[in-house]
Amino acid sequence: MEYTKQEFMAIVTGREIKDGQLIILGVGLSMLAGYFARLNHAPNLRAFTEGGVYGSTPVGGLPWGIECNRISANATSFTNAIDALGFLVASGRCDNAVIGAAQVDKYGNVNTTGIWEEPPWKAGRYPAPRVRLNGSGGANDIAVGAKSYLIMASHESRRFMEKVDYISSPGYLDGGDARERCGFVGGGPSAIISTLGILRPDPLTKEFYLEAYYPFTNVEEVGESTGWELKVSPEVKVVPEPSEQELKNLRAVDTTGSLRKKG
Amino acid sequence: MHNKLMTIQDAVAAYTWDGMTYCHGAAFPVGSDSVAFGREMVKQNRKDLNVICHCGSSQVNLLAAVGAVRRVEVGFSGLEVYGFANGLNRAVTSGQTVIEDYSNGAMAFRFFGGAMNWPFVPATVNICNDQQWCSGDNPEVYPATDKIPTITDPFTGQTLGAFRCLRPEVAAIHVTMADIHGNAIMLGSEWSRFEMSRAAEKVVLVADKIVDTACMRQYPNLVRIIAEVVDAVVYWPLCSWPQASCGLYDSDEEHMFMMNKAMKTAEGTDEYCRDWVHSYQTPEQYLDLIGQDKIEKVTATETAFLMDPYRQWIKSDVEVAELLDQARG
């Protein structure tokens, strides 16, 4: 069966989501991966949004936002941000999450705030950005509080950077035990799922290395698409292709075909 | 409790002014927000605003696009699947608008702290990263130490961030339905409207529907915004348009894209304001402008059944007009 890179990334992300987990999902790819997982292999997934929308299954296609009526049409509870991002995420209760990244670095730090001519950490000041993105939204709260979480990103060297322009959502900061020193409640990102493969953090240094790549690429291409000297697992594998059943289940969630438009 | 109904023109004239700290909400980028109130602020030429919005939305996108926003504090500034907020981003990258970033969680905690009248809120979010180190208010210092100062938990010794609480001068809050006294029921996520209504010095409700107080007496547990903290109630149908209102209408996909595209340039914004802001006065003219076909389309929402319990108490436009006359005395 034909599939797009975006679909492959969503399915691979979904495979990282386990049955029974309490998971917070954001808009777009995050929601698609999560609801795909629930339909495909995790029927008891307990999914919610940062607005405190519980128990729902999106209707009519990809929701336009976390509060879109497409996700509010069959909810079992509506609460609020304090509940979802505070009581369930900042408290450390939430098992898993999926966040996106405009830029990500080798320690899994994510930038979704802006692009600068000279980044603040280099300039020693904080001028207006050349390009303003969206800010962190709830992703910073998730990055700090969730037991673990997944990062999804398009794998290009301009996005996979040695050092991001701005840390909107902290991964392992500068590696090692940096998270512990900051007193973060959650455990940090468990993987970066890209359009080319799966990166995992080294248990000690926390630097992300290539664990597996997709069948349509190779180690060289992944390395060239990464802005730091990407380490490769000695047991590097090829990620199994999406099965027909997985694609069928993903498309049952992505009814408007948003992942098929992106090549 | 007296009748607090006001026209949108009177409410904007009475409760907004140049240079104020203005808060709008929910706000959700695609859902609940008092967008019609922001349009009226543009009509009345409000300037130099310090805006607090939990998330950006079409409202702050428009206000920033017309150059009315001096500063904004926000957890998320985009329009979700509808894209980056072009008007706000144009104002930020040109240096016209100072943006102070927090996370969505931090914004909610800060409203809670404001509602509690706390001096600050302690939390572990936003620290050890650029949300703490980059301050729009103090751009010459990096890493900033006065935006989210680091403090020590006196009980455990743990490092925490101290967050300034939010106490906006006025909050214009979107609700699904309100009575004339200011009791309100919100369908869909509350986001931070409960805390916002207790944190703001003045509260204006912008309601899609006006209902009889008997509705509140039937569902008092659902009345999360109370008359006791509300100063004015504005009735404006489709007041969140082109965004959604759970139970009543979906987002207007075509207009969301068109409006945001227009906000990309000053010229596009001028044309948009001519056609879609300055071109109506009354709710009837506003609905005519949106058009019957579009209204039928957006109100054919999968969430419509959520309104079923409340329909018997909804006031007709004629009844609301009479109540408005009574309020004016």
Neighbours of B329 (CB within 10 A): 6
Tell me which DSSP letter residue B245 carries. B
Full-model pTM: 0.97
Cα–Cα distance measured from residue B82 to residue A63, given in angstroms and rounded to the nearest whole number: 11
pLDDT digits (tens, 9 = 90+) for A98-155: 999 999 999 999 999 999 999 999 999 999 999 999 999 999 999 999 999 999 999 9
Contacts of residue B124 in chain A, CB cutoff 8 Å? 90, 144-145, 182-185
Assigned domain for A104 exists: yes
Q: Per-residue confidence at A15, pLDDT binned at 50, 70, 90?
A: very high
| Cβ separation A170–B253 shorter than 8 A | no
Q: Is A50 a catalytic residue?
A: yes
Residue A44, pLDDT > 80, answer yes
Assigned domain for A221 exists: yes
| Cβ separation B84–A173 shorter than 8 A | no
The predicted complex's ipTM stands at: 0.96
| Cβ separation B92–A128 shorter than 8 A | yes
Contacts of residue A225, Cβ cutoff 8 Å, sequence gap at least 6 = A155, A156, A157, A160, A196
Tokens of B34: 């008092």
Q: Where are the beta strands (DSSP E) in A112-188?
A: 114-115, 131-132, 149-153, 160-161
Q: Per-residue confidence at B204, pLDDT binned at 50, 70, 90?
A: very high
Residue B88, pLDDT > 60, answer yes
Assigned domain for A259 exists: no
Mean pLDDT of chain A: 96
pLDDT digits (tens, 9 = 90+) for B281-319: 999 999 999 999 999 999 999 999 999 999 999 999 999
pLDDT (mean) for B231-240: 98
Cα–Cα distance measured from residue B252 to residue B295, given in angstroms and rounded to the nearest whole number: 9
Backbone angles phi, psi at B32, to 5 degrees: -50, 125
Contacts of residue B247, Cβ cutoff 8 Å, sequence gap at least 6 = B176, B187, B188, B301, B303, B304, B306, B307
Assigned domain for A262 exists: no
| Cβ separation B92–A132 shorter than 8 A | yes
* Residue percentage of chain A with pLDDT more than 90: 90
Assigned domain for A66 exists: yes
Assigned domain for A187 exists: yes
Assigned domain for A261 exists: no
The predicted structure's pLDDT at residue B174: 98
Backbone angles phi, psi at A206, to 5 degrees: 70, 10
pLDDT (mean) for A59-73: 91
Choosing from A7, A50, A207, A211, the catalytic residue is A50
The number of domains in chain A is 1
CA distance B250 to chain A (A): 6
Backbone angles phi, psi at A183, to 5 degrees: 75, 25
Contacts of residue B193 in chain A, CB cutoff 8 Å? 80
CB pairs under 8 A between A and B: 232
Q: Is B109 helix (H, G, I), strand (E, B) or coil?
A: helix
Cα maximum dimension of chain A: 52
Q: Per-residue confidence at A260, pLDDT binned at 50, 70, 90?
A: confident
CATH code of A143's domain: 3.40.1080.10
Cα–Cα distance measured from residue A91 to residue A85, given in angstroms and rounded to the nearest whole number: 9
Interface test with A, best of B57, B84, B103 (most A CBs within 10 A): B103
Radius of gyration of chain B, Cα coordinates, nearest whole angstrom: 20
Q: Which domain holds residue A27?
A: 5-253
Q: Per-residue confidence at B3, pLDDT binned at 50, 70, 90?
A: very high
Mean pLDDT of chain B: 97
CA distance A11 to chain B (A): 20
The predicted structure's pLDDT at residue A263: 44
Q: Is A196 helix (H, G, I), strand (E, B) or coil?
A: coil
Of B76, B95, B140, the CB nearest to A125: B140
Cα–Cα distance measured from residue B191 to residue A83, given in angstroms and rounded to the nearest whole number: 9
pLDDT digits (tens, 9 = 90+) for A210-221: 999 999 999 999
Element housing B91 (H / E): helix B86-93
Assigned domain for A30 exists: yes
The predicted structure's pLDDT at residue A257: 87
Residue B246, pLDDT > 60, answer yes
Whether the CA torsion B70, B132, B86, A142 is positive or negative: it is negative
| Cβ separation A140–B125 shorter than 8 A | yes
Residue B21, pLDDT > 60, answer yes
pLDDT digits (tens, 9 = 90+) for A22-34: 999 998 889 999 9
Q: Tokens 């595209």 — which residue? A: B261
